[in-house]
């Protein structure tokens, strides 16, 4: 995606990352939820005129990947290549994700730097050799504490996330001295209360660290699908140490210092709450050990639930995003999950809720408004936007409403990552404009052929069209294809330039759409839904 011309080239990039996703299977709604959120956030900051870097990618090492590949009778590398090229990258393109980079942990640019990072820790006496025996969940790729486990009816210890039996592993490992970093982490959390969000996640992490940290096993020696430990190639680096380092290696760590300095650390790590401890305890401790700066914030989204269960392939609740986009469209898909679920909270998905919100808010409120305004400008003014010379208190109220929507949405989305709050602010304004048109009744005003009547009609329709101009800018990050269609139908592309170059914080400045702009009634923005497919 092209950057805006007003980017601050010398400033540090606003750097946002998603988790890098395991490629043991194709992506589902939960993966797409986080990735779309990151895309909306970074598009928003781009449209502020900021320099932005958006990273996503895939986690391709570890026992889980190895076993999945073996079950499919292919090599781990062949399995990863197939999934990445046939499932993951095509989905992000389909969902209009404007990421700046896509990193794979099997790439040499990553693996070489991982070895250097770990070697450096070893040379600093931060890593030692030992042994470990304990419960391990291959699905999480994590040793579990006994207190973390739940029990099946027969008493078998289970992973609380995957609801599957853990394996008791005993092997020789190398350990990172994580236990030394507990006090430093607690001091950092206290000095930076917004580092972990939401607050419930922060409280969980603080309580966990206050109980005392154990040293972290950073190698595995019972299988070989991973990055070799450089000083002892009988071991491979623990997949989570490997994976977390993608946030540094992707932006030039150890290879391109200029890029690294201009990008690192991440301003926002978007993650699922099930990987919270890795990102808020292990990752900052690793960075502290190397004297590197820590991220701005770690934001844990909730789980998408289906039938009361976390959406996942292992629970057989993994729904493909394409199942929904083929029915509702890509833009509606991008809008729905961020509008329907407060980011950071668990949320339940249902087809019926999606259909109801689509019809009510997108088709009836937003899409119908755009169609009505274009039709009336075409009918009463031949498609040329009239000049507003008879504006009054009603029009001023709409202007004020747009200014409020811009300020609220910019704060909610751009600063607080409250996507739902920002989207609702825009749609509250859409409702206000609909109410304004209902009250002003331009179809009745049009019957008054006097100069005063014509001026009044012009003021009403200009106000409505200019309002839509602001809405197109505000929703561009959320629904880029739809916003572009609206932008062009308002004649804004020809008169104001590219939509992506319109500063979002300036969207409330009234009167930008010039009189005489050619307004056309294009295709319906949100077509009527057919019946749910069988």
- Provide block-wise average pLDDT over 10 residues at a time, the chain (534 residues): 44 96 89 96 98 97 91 95 96 98 98 98 96 73 70 75 74 93 98 97 97 94 93 95 98 97 98 95 98 98 73 57 95 97 91 95 98 97 93 95 98 97 98 98 96 96 98 98 98 96 97 97 90 53
Q: How far apart are CA 496 and CA 472, in angstroms?
A: 13
Angle CA(150)–CA(152)–CA(155) in degrees, nearest 5? 95
In terms of Cβ atoms closer than 10 Å to its own Cβ (0-12, 13-18, 19+), residue 211 is exposed
Contact 95, 334 (CB under 8 A): yes
Sheet holding 219-220, edge to edge: 219-220, 232-237, 228-229
Which residues are 52's β-sheet partners? 14
Q: How far apart are CA 185 and CA 481, in angstroms?
A: 43
Catalytic residue among 61, 89, 140, 485: 140
**Per-residue pLDDT, 2:** 35
Contact 121, 127 (CB under 8 A): yes
- 45 among known catalytic residues: no
**Per-residue pLDDT, 143:** 66
What torsion do the CA atoms of 396, 399, 400, 402 make, to the nearest 10 degrees? 160
Nearest to 486 by CA among 469, 511, 498, 502: 469
**Per-residue pLDDT, 7:** 47
Angle CA(210)–CA(212)–CA(216) in degrees, nearest 5? 130
- 310 among known catalytic residues: yes
- At 523, list the tokens: 């295709």
Q: Residue 204: in which H helix or E strand, if any?
A: helix 199-210
- At 294, list the tokens: 């820590």
Q: How far apart are CA 242 and CA 11, in angstroms?
A: 29
Alpha-carbon Rg for the chain, nearest whole angstrom, is 26
> Mutual orientation of helices 368-381 and 480-489 as an angle, nearest 10°?
10
- 144 among known catalytic residues: no
Phi, psi of 52 (to 5 degrees): -135, 145
Contact 384, 376 (CB under 8 A): no
- 28 among known catalytic residues: yes
- 31 among known catalytic residues: yes
**Per-residue pLDDT, 318:** 60
Catalytic residue among 12, 82, 94, 162: 162
- 110 among known catalytic residues: no
> Mutual orientation of helices 419-440 and 330-340 as an angle, nearest 10°?
110
- At 312, list the tokens: 């996942």
Catalytic residue among 64, 89, 159, 412: 159
How distant, in Å, are the alpha carbons of 135, 255, 364, 428, 518 from that of 409? 46, 38, 22, 11, 28
**Per-residue pLDDT, 148:** 73
- 80 among known catalytic residues: no
**Per-residue pLDDT, 134:** 73
- Tens digit of pLDDT for each residue in 29-46? 989 999 999 999 999 999
Give me the residue label for tokens 């001091």: 187
How distant, in Å, are the alpha carbons of 51, 256, 258, 453 from that of 12? 7, 15, 11, 54
Q: Residue 92: in which H helix or E strand, if any?
A: helix 89-94
Contact 16, 42 (CB under 8 A): yes
Burial of 13-32, coded b for 16+ CB within 10 Å and e otherwise, reads: bbbbbbbbbbbbebbbbbbb
Nearest to 369 by CA among 530, 528, 529, 526: 526
Q: How far apart are CA 177 and CA 214, in angstroms?
A: 8
Catalytic residue among 164, 184, 259, 313: 313
Q: Residue 130: in which H helix or E strand, if any?
A: strand 127-137
Catalytic residue among 45, 61, 137, 273: 137
Catalytic residue among 310, 327, 412, 485: 310
């Amino acid at each position: 995606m092209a950057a805006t011309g007003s980017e601050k080239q010398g400033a540090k990039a606003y750097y946002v990352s998603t988790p890098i996703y395991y490629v043991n299977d194709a992506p589902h709604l939960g993966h797409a939820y986080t990735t779309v959120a990151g895309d909306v956030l970074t598009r928003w900051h781009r449209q502020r005129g900021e320099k932005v870097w958006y990273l996503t990618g895939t986690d391709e090492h570890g026992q889980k990947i190895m076993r999945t590949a073996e079950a499919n009778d292919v090599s781990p590398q062949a399995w990863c290549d197939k999934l990445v090229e046939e499932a993951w990258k095509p989905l992000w393109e389909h969902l209009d994700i404007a990421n700046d980079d896509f990193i794979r942990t099997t790439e040499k640019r990553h693996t070489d730097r991982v070895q250097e990072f770990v070697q450096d820790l070893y040379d600093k006496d931060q890593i030692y050799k030992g042994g470990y025996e304990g419960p391990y969940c291959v699905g999480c790729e994590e040793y579990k504490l006994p207190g973390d486990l739940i029990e099946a009816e027969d008493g078998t210890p289970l992973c609380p996330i995957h609801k599957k039996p853990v394996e008791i592993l005993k092997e020789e490992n190398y350990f990172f001295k994580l236990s030394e970093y507990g006090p430093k982490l607690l001091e950092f959390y206290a000095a930076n209360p917004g580092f972990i969000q939401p607050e419930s996640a922060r409280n969980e992490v603080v309580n966990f660290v206050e109980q005392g940290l154990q040293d972290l096993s950073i190698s595995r020696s019972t299988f070989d699908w991973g990055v070799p430990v450089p000083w002892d190639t009988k071991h491979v680096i623990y997949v989570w140490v490997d994976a977390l380092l993608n946030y540094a290696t992707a932006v030039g760590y150890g290879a391109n210092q200029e890029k690294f300095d201009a990008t690192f650390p991440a301003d926002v790590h978007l993650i699922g709450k099930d990987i919270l401890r890795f990102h808020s305890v292990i990752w900052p401790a690793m960075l502290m050990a190397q004297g590197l700066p820590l991220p701005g914030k770690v934001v844990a989204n909730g789980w998408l639930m289906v039938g009361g269960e976390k959406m996942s392939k292992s629970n057989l609740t993994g729904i493909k995003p394409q199942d929904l986009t083929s029915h509702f469209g890509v833009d509606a898909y991008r809008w729905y999950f961020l509008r329907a679920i407060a980011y950071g909270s668990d949320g339940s998905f249902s087809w019926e809720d999606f259909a109801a919100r689509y019809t009510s808010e997108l088709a009836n409120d937003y899409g119908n408004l755009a169609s009505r305004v274009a039709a009336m400008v075409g009918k009463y003014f031949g498609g040329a936007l009239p000049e507003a010379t008879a504006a009054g208190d009603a029009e001023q109220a709409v202007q004020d409403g747009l200014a409020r929507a811009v300020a609220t949405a910019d704060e909610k989305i751009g600063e607080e990552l409250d996507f739902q709050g920002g989207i609702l602010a825009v749609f509250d304004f859409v409702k206000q404009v609909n109410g304004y048109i209902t009250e002003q009744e331009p179809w009745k005003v049009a019957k008054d052929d006097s100069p005063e009547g014509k001026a009044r009609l012009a003021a009403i329709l200009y106000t409505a069209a200019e309002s839509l101009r602001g809405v197109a800018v505000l929703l561009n990050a959320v629904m880029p294809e739809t916003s572009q269609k609206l932008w062009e139908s308002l004649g804004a592309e020809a008169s104001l330039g590219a939509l992506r170059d319109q500063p979002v914080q300036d969207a409330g400045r009234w009167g930008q759409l010039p009189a005489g702009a050619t307004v056309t009634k294009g295709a319906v923005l949100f077509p009527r839904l057919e019946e749910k497919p069988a």
